[in-house]
Structures are given as structure tokens and as C-alpha cells.
Amino acid sequence: MNKDELLNSTLKNDRASFSELKKALKVIDGSEFEFGYSLGVSSNVTLNGFDVYLKKQGYISEVNADVQMGGYDDLQGDFDSFKSNGIQNVLVLLNFDNLLPSFESQVEHLDDEFIYAKIMDVKSSLLVALSGGDVFQSITITDFHLSFVGSNELRVKEVLGRFNVMLRECADQFDNVSLLSLSAVVADVGRYNAIDSRFYFMSKAPYKRLLLDHLARRLTSASRQFGARVYKAVVFDCDNTLWGGVVGEDLLGGIALNPYDYPGNIFWRIQQEILSLIERDVIICLCSKNNPEDVLEVLEEHPHCLLSNENIVAKKVNWSSKVDNILALSEELNIGLDSMVFVDDSSFECESVKARLPSVNTIQVPKNISEYISVFDTIKDLFPYVSSRNSDLSKTQQYKIRELSEKQRMNFSSQEEYLESLEIKALLTFNESSGKARISELSQKSNQFNLTTKRYTSLEVGKLIDSSTAVVAAVDVTDKFGGCGLTGAVIGRINGSVFSVDAFFMSCRVIARSIEFSIWPEILKRAVELGAKRIHASYYPTSKNMQVADFYDRLGFVEVHENSDGARKYEQEIKQLELIKIDWIEVEISDC
């Protein structure tokens, strides 16, 4: 069988045996995947088979996971080994009961002074390792959880909570460290399905394969924050997807959508989950074969509809092909098809989109509607929470503003006249640490306007910001309709008298307004102040950034070399540059 057949027959089959899974992975190993990451796993227990499940979940998500398992209870040794082997990301899993022999059973007999000393001991060893972990892109620490039910569970939970507070305090001290809730995974699968007491006491291997599989799925989802595939939008069908029934036939009062009765309570719950996606800045769209008036009536008038017209960034409610409508949404939003998720109840529509738009992640609403909640969990996993919002406006509001400004375009005779009417302002901030998380996020998500497609972690951006020889310019865009937030960045280094541009990327929301040209006089001015006389820049082609292939040419840079693959290099004296002059954009420099 080929890779796709193995993915469907074995990797996605929960009934496949562990040996079948390993055989399938051997066949798939070596296949080419667009995305990948390396991960080192350090634990104070044995995690037999965890690397297999990480590989499995990675391949299901079309991500190649290069996994190195650490030794037993050797955190510092593992970190040293990971560094020497070039591992970029680390998982630290400390089992609470194994901090001391059968710690949970000991807790109720130990006084607070001993407990405090143990907390400080674990904290000390953890901080020593984390302090030397700044070379890693990310370090993920799992929280502590209960493994057994004891005679004094309240006391154990209270002590465990204190240990978890300590983990949070440790994580908060480092930009590249985050927490992942293993206790939530244990709760999801159930303690009986998670803990194997026999193998725990025999070989310090406490976790059953179901738990390891679910943890691997959670971690694979989190990997989207450090360089794996990034999804931006979910496109929902309406009938039997956002509500039960067909609104055109059942009418407003006949559809199933309420918090009290089955199956309406399931669809009501799903809409609650969609609202949580909106809070994560996920773009929500509709693609439905329906009368637009009927769908709008549900959004605006149904007493139990949680979604509103304001929540929806873009809609294609008509009788056209859903494939054509998804293509139109991709063009309208200026995002790639591979960053879109499509959800529909119709097997016909799902198969059509899978066949004609294979890069779209297509998910079918299950026939057994009670399974919809668990299916939606897989959708949420595609959009991990990232706390780097840089604007008071949500992404939904920003797209609404963009839509409003685009509607104004028809009132002007020329593009330049239209752009001038927008009263665009670009606020440039140089080497300001408050923007490092957003710059990192933007580097990970920007594909179309990205000259080199270099990806940066927040930690890497922070180091550049603190460097005296680096220029990290962030651009915050506003116009008469509102703010777009931090939507672009230039990252460069001063090497003697040369200013080398490492990266230039911008959000698709502000492309084609000439902002990308307007900021360069101030950026080069800053480079000259730092001693630069020449500029070096490069363009590296990908399947998604062809629209900026000639950007530096249009900006006024001189090309000195082009490779056979289309990569271009530019070198020039800064004082000889003749940059495009953009009169309709006001560029300001922040005083930060």
C-alpha cells in the first residue's frame, strides 16, 4: 500500500494493533512532507511507544516528527543530548507519583515542611535545565496529574496543585516555555484507560497506549506553533452542520438548534465551540447551497443561534459548486487553500472537495450526530491557542474592516486615488520587545508575502531585538476604517558596513496598499545610522510566494545573481538607491 492508503487503513484506524502501526510507519518513513519538526522527550518515567504515536499523529497531520527519546529521569542529561543532536523542541513530562516512590500514597503522611522542600527541589532542578534551554525553539512541560485514588484524595490534590503552581512559575520565567495539560488528557480518556499500574510497578511505565496516543495528538496540535502546518480558516456548511434540518424546508422554527433538546443541543454546543475558535482569531466562513435570506434569518432571528452575521468573515451562500465557492473564499481572504478547513455533512460535497481541492482539510459531520462533539475536538486541535494578539480588534473585526474598505474601491477612478482616500498610516517600531510574540507568529503564518520564508520563534526574535547589530522593524497599520495591528516586519543584521536583510514578511490583509514600499526609506535610514553603506537582500521562491518574486526589483534594488531555481540576490550601495516614493501613506516612527 502507498502512503495515503496506509494513513487511512492503519494510522487513522483506532483498532489497528501496535505492531500493524509500526509496520505502517516503516513504510511511510522517508516520504516527503512539507512540514516537520524535531522533538526531544524527557521524563522521569518510561514512555514505551510514545515515539511511535508521535510519528503516527504527525503523519496524520502531514507533519514529519523527528523524535528523540531521552533517558530515564535525567533531565539535565537529556537537555545536553538534545542540544548536541540539534533538537529544536523539547517535551518535559514529570509524573507526580514517581517524584518519590509511590508519592501519592506518601503525601497524607508528610508534613508541609517536607512537601515544601520537595517542591523547591523539583523547582531547582527544573530551573537549572530551563536556564540552559534557550537554544531550543520551544520547551513544553506537562502538568502533574493523579494516577491513583487514595484514602485521602483531597490532601493529595491540594499538594499536587501546589506543584502545578510551581510549574507555572517556572514556565513564566522563559519565553520559550509553555505548559500542556496532561491532566486534561488523562481526564479525557479516563484514569482506567490511562494508567497501567502493573507496568508502572514492574518497569516504571505508567501509561497505556491510548493515553500516549491522545497525548501525541495534543502535542502534534501544539507543534503548529513552532513551524508545522498552520490553519487559518474554517469554512462551514449550514444545514445539518450549524443546525439540524434544512432551513429552506423546515423554516426558522423547524430547525434543531437549542440548548435543551436532542439533537438541537448538540448543534447549540457546536456553535459554542465555534465561538471559542473565534476567540482564537480563527477566520469563520460559510459555504452553503441555500437561499441567502434563509441563512441570514437564522443568524439574525433564531432565538438560540449563537453565531451572528458579525461573526462570519465571509459567506458564499448560493447554489454554485462548493469547490468554486471555496476557491472564491480563498481568493477573497487572500489565504492559501492549504490553510483552510471545510466542514460539511454531505458525503457528496466532502468527496468533491477532497478530489478537486486536496490541499483543503475536509472534515465530514458524522452520520451519528452524537459523535459530532468528538469530531469537533479534532477541529479545535488544528487551531492551538496563541496569546499574542497585538490589537484591540479581533481578526474577524479586522477582516470586516478590510471588506468595508474594499467596497469603497468602486467609488474611485484609479487605484492610487482609492488608496489615498484610505488615509493609511504605518507606524514603524524598531527593536521593541513588546512585539516579539506577534512578529514570531507572523513569520510562522505568512507565506504569500514572505521573501525568504524564514520562521522565527519568540525567543529568536527577542535575541535579535536585544542585539546591537540587528534591525527588527515592525509595522503597525491603520486607516480611516480602523486598525489592522502589527502586520509586517523586516529583520536584518549589520555586518560591518553591510545591512543584510534576513526576512521581510507581511500579513495578506494589508498587501497591495503600497505599505511594503513606503517603510523602506526609514528602515534604510536606521541601517545607515548603525554604520551600513551597502545592502544585501535575497528572494527564495516557494510554491506560495511567487507574487513577491520581483518585489526587490520594483523597490529599486539591483539584482546581482539568479539561481536556476529562481532564487535571487541583490547588492547595492544604499546612497545609490532610488526608492519608489509613496505619497499617500504617512509613515511614523514610534518613540518606544
Query: Nearest 5 degrees, angle CA 34-CA 35-CA 39?
Result: 150
Instruction: Name the pTM for this structure.
Output: 0.69
Could you tell me how many helices (H) and strands (E) the chain has, helices first? Answer: 24, 18
CB atoms inside a 10 Å sphere around CB 361: 23
Whether the CB-CB separation of 505 and 451 falls below 8 Å is answered with: yes
Is residue 469, in this structure, part of any structural domain at all? Answer: yes
**Taking Cα atoms as reference points, which of 115, 116, 144, 126 lies closest to residue 90?**
126
Same domain, yes or no: 271 and 286: yes
Q: Which three cell numbers, joined as nine digits, stand for 311? A: 461573526
| Main-chain phi, psi angles of 571, to 5 degrees | -140, 140
Residue ending a domain, among 356, 381, 406, is 381
Residue ending a domain, among 195, 226, 257, is 226
Same domain, yes or no: 449 and 513: yes
Same domain, yes or no: 255 and 177: no
Burial profile 188-207: b = 16 or more Cβ within 10 angstroms, e = fewer: bbeeeebbbeeebeeebbbb
Is residue 205, in this structure, part of any structural domain at all? Answer: yes
Give the CATH number, domain containing residue 463: 3.40.630.30
CA dist 502 to 86, 274, 575, Å? 22, 37, 20
Residue type for 417, please? Answer: E
Same domain, yes or no: 244 and 98: no
Alpha helices in 69-208 (DSSP H): 75-84, 103-107, 112-131, 153-171, 182-189, 191-194, 197-203
Same domain, yes or no: 204 and 77: yes
**Taking Cα atoms as reference points, which of 145, 142, 158, 155 lies closest to residue 105?**
155
Cis peptide before 263 (omega within 30 of 0): yes
Look up residue 580 and give its DSSP letter. Answer: P
Is residue 388, in this structure, part of any structural domain at all? Answer: no
CA–CA separation, 281 and 395 (whole Å): 5
pLDDT in tens, the chain (592 residues): 666 677 777 888 878 889 989 988 988 887 777 678 899 999 999 999 999 999 999 888 878 889 999 999 999 999 999 999 999 899 999 999 999 999 999 998 999 999 999 999 999 999 999 999 988 988 999 999 999 987 688 999 999 999 999 999 999 999 889 899 999 999 989 999 999 999 999 999 999 999 999 999 888 877 655 555 678 999 999 999 999 999 999 999 999 999 999 999 999 999 999 999 998 889 999 999 999 999 999 999 999 999 999 999 999 999 999 999 999 999 988 888 988 999 999 999 999 999 999 989 999 999 999 999 989 988 988 887 654 444 445 566 666 555 655 555 556 656 777 777 778 899 999 999 988 988 988 898 888 899 998 988 888 899 999 999 999 999 998 887 777 789 999 999 999 999 999 999 998 777 777 899 999 999 999 999 999 999 999 999 988 889 899 999 999 899 999 999 999 999 999 999 988 888 888 999 986 5
CB atoms inside a 10 Å sphere around CB 279: 12
Same domain, yes or no: 91 and 117: yes
Give pLDDT, residue 387: 47
Is residue 561, in this structure, part of any structural domain at all? Answer: yes
Is residue 448, in this structure, part of any structural domain at all? Answer: yes
Give the CATH number, domain containing residue 207: 3.40.50.1110
CA–CA separation, 573 and 354 (whole Å): 50
Whether the CB-CB separation of 548 and 578 falls below 8 Å is answered with: no
Domain carrying residue 438? 420-589
Give pLDDT, residue 170: 96
Residue ending a domain, among 226, 246, 278, is 226
Same domain, yes or no: 92 and 218: yes
Same domain, yes or no: 370 and 450: no
Is residue 63, in this structure, part of any structural domain at all? Answer: yes
CA dist 432 to 121, 391, 474, 547, Å? 36, 16, 8, 29
Q: Left if phi > 0, otherwise alpha if psi is -120 to 50, otherwise beta: which for 412?
A: beta
Is residue 402, in this structure, part of any structural domain at all? Answer: no
Same domain, yes or no: 245 and 175: no
Pairing mode of beta strands 568-573, 470-479: unpaired
Domain count, the chain: 3
Give the CATH number, domain containing residue 337: 3.40.50.1000
Q: Which three cell numbers, joined as nine digits, stand for 547? A: 507574487
Same domain, yes or no: 80 and 128: yes
DSSP string, 198-264: HHHHHHS--B-HHHHHHHHHHHHHHGGGGTS----EEEE--BTTTBBS-HHHHHHHHSB--SSSTTH
Same domain, yes or no: 443 and 353: no
Is residue 26, in this structure, part of any structural domain at all? Answer: no
Q: In what order do the strands lie in the sheet with 568-573?
A: 559-562, 568-573, 534-539, 498-506, 482-495, 470-479, 424-430, 585-589
Same domain, yes or no: 204 and 239: no
